[in-house]
Every structure is written in C-alpha cells, then in structure tokens.
Structure 1
C-alpha cells in the first residue's frame, strides 16, 4: 500500500494546531467536583421554596415532603435559605459548606411552636452488604416528650429529643430489626415499624414526628425514607 507522506504530515500539523488552541481556552464554567443536596419540609404550615445563593432550586415543598438529591458544585460555601412558597418572606437562612463527593439533607424544621430553622445533615450512604443502616431524626416539636427507640431484643436503645439524631445504627435484617417507638412519658402507647421494611445493603432515614393539628395533636408518627 502506498502512503501519502505529505498528506499525512499536513493532517498531523492541523491536529497539533487544534490541540494547542484548545489547551489555551479557559472554561469559565468548569465544575471541579459535585455535591448532592436534597431538601425537606417538616413544618406543618406553608409550603417552602429553597434557594442556594439566591437561586431557587426547589419549589412548593409541602409538609412531610422532600426533593430527590440534586447535583450542585461541591467544595463551596452556599447561602441556603427557605421562603414561604409564592412570597418573599424568608423563613430562615444559613451559610453552609458542601464538600465534593458528599450527600446532604437540608431540613426546614421547628425548634419550638414559634421558631423555625434550617438544619443540614451529611448523609453517609455507604452500604453494609450484610445489614441495614438506620438514621433517626426527631423533628416532632409538638410531641412534648423525648422519644424512646429500640429494636426487638433491645440490642440498641436510643432516646431522642426534638432536633436530636441517633447517628447510624447497623442492624442485621430479620425479625430482630422490628422497631419500637414510644414517648418517654407514655410507655403504654407504642408505635412499631415492621422488620419487613428493612433490607441488606440499604440505608434508611426515619423521621420521628408528631401530629400538629386537631384532636390528635402531639400523637407520635413516623416516616421511613429509603436513601439508596
């Protein structure tokens, strides 16, 4: 086969020029790494819009709801704020650094009947292939009591007040992972979460809340969220 050396040299020269030119172009929009953030509304009042550095990133998040994880630029400090949907009234704002490769949950929650705040938790989604991992958060500002938590055989026990978390609890799946919850000052009234909800390799967030309106106000309730 006959090789056309002049043509080959011309092509090589053109490719070299393209490489030199593109190497000099600065990408102003380059993202050096990602972080993932989701937003929760645990306050039984108005829906919330969430903002990062003044840009609305979610809208109309009602009580008991949350967004999926959304990707943002990581290793960056953001001004995070929430507003009542459709208004300019800011509910709360915080400054928070979100690291590359991490997952975070931003909660709009209440510390009391009158004070609402934003709280940020880093989510560790590292799976345990032989067990399930549980993370409890007490957001029940109407409960009026701490909440006691245990599994079937009480191999773990926790008591959480409003705004407190359990850290990650690793549990073998099976009947022993059935969860019992009760108000510390009302041990005769017990809520349960069936062991059939938990699977190996999964990480769960369990929100402990209280009914905030009507005749059942202050009654214990839970919400189970599968994270992975």
Structure 2
C-alpha cells in the first residue's frame, strides 16, 4: 500500500460552511464549483503503548506520533464514503480498517477504542454551534471498555450533568457555567467516584468533550487505569 502525507489540519474550529474550490471539467469547459467539506478529529483512546498512523483512504493523516491520549485536531475531509484505518507507526498492515460516511458541512470525532483484537472506531457528530451568552458547552463519552455505565457530575452539584452512559455511548452537548477551577467526577451506578478531573478551567464560548478512558479492572501500568480526560474542540 502506497501512502502519501498531504493532509493539512484546519487551523481553527471546523465550520460547516467551509468550502473548497475544485475545478471540474465538463463538456470541454472548465467550471469552478464549491465543495463543502466535512471535518474530522481523531482521538486515540486505545489504552496501550502502540503508536499509530491514521489513514484516510491511502493517505497518512498524522505528522506526529499518534499515541494514547493524543488527538489529531480537525482535518479537511472530502465528504462521502471514506476508508479510515490505523496501522502501527511506520508500517502498512492495517490493525483496524472501516468504511465510514462523512456528510458535507458536518464535523465528527472518531475515537480509537479498546485494544488488540477488540480495537474499534467510535464515531460521533460534533455540534460546534457556539454556546449562548456567557456559557460553555460540554459532552461526555464513555470509552472505558470494561467499565459499567458511567455518569459525569460536578463536585458539590445537586444533580449530575449526564447519567448512565454505557461503553461507547456519548451524550449531546449541554451548556454549563464557565469556571476557573471546576472539579468533575465520573461515577458508577452506585454513585461511587471512579475518576476525577480536578481544578479544570472551563472558559466561556468554548466547547469541550470529557471522556472516560482506560480500564476499570487490574492493569499492568497505572497509566492504563481508568481516568478522565478533556479536550477542547478547535
């Protein structure tokens, strides 16, 4: 498999009206027609030491090491049915490959979840509509393969932001008050806190995803234990 490396990251948050001028030839005349792109962010939530290259069709999309906990940031992507996959860094044999449909003007996050023969892609749409007023937006994704259904709340709050999300499930975005030091808590059905994001800064006007990662059971390294992580959509 021959691969090229000519993807360019979108420098700012993907916007649905982004277009790319493409020259199309028809009836021996050159015409220019705008093509509305999709946006694709890829997050490595696979709790293992393997470094990947991420492939769209036959194109390598990452320029830096793509390891556990890292993300690519939004990529320009022509819409339609595209083959996405991962290979071990510097190699060509697919560890995971799947055809996915991407719609024009829509932003997506694709998570690489689980490990070894159980690796899978989890694709979710990203609502990048700006929060209203002085608010921020947050959603939650459960990407801990052996965890029970999980909830996300804020320490001291009367009710949780999200409840009962099973492995690979995600929530819609909700608006929240910004804060300089917010303590997020991931809980199981018994309301026991199983992971935290302490002293987290949430800024007005920004959009965030919090995800549960790692394994709930016994693991060989502390870095692979269940934890929570946050990223900003930009």
TM-score by length of 2: 0.73
User: Does 2:83 correspond to 1:79?
Assistant: yes
TM-score by length of 1: 0.74
Residue in 2 that maps onto 1:99: 103
Partners of 1:116 and 1:189 lie apart in 2 by 23
8 Å Cα contact 2:151/2:160 also seen in 1:
no
Pairing 1:73-222 to 2, within 5 Å after superposition? 73-74=78-79, 76-110=80-114, 114-128=117-131, 129-142=133-146, 144-151=147-154, 152-154=157-159, 156-174=161-179, 178-184=183-189, 187=192, 191-194=196-199, 197-210=201-214, 213-214=219-220, 216=222, 219-222=225-228
Q: Which has the higher helix share?
A: 1
Residue in 2 that maps onto 1:42: 45
Higher relative contact order (CA 8 A, sep 6+): 2
Change (3 A) 1:126 1:48: same
Residue in 2 that maps onto 1:10: none
Change (3 A) 1:118 1:68: same
Structure 1 unaligned blocks of 5 or more:
1-22
Give the drift of 1:204.
Answer: 0.1
Residue in 2 that maps onto 1:63: 68
8 Å Cα contact 2:107/2:127 also seen in 1:
yes
Instruction: Give the secondary-structure state (helix, strand or coil) at the position aligned to 2:178.
Output: coil
Give the drift of 1:89.
Answer: 2.5
Change (3 A) 1:113 1:58: closer
Structure 2 unaligned blocks of 5 or more:
1-26
8 Å Cα contact 1:113/1:141 also seen in 2:
no
Figure out how many residues of one structure are paired with residues of the other and give that number.
Answer: 201
Moved over 6 A (4+): none
Change (3 A) 1:131 1:210: same
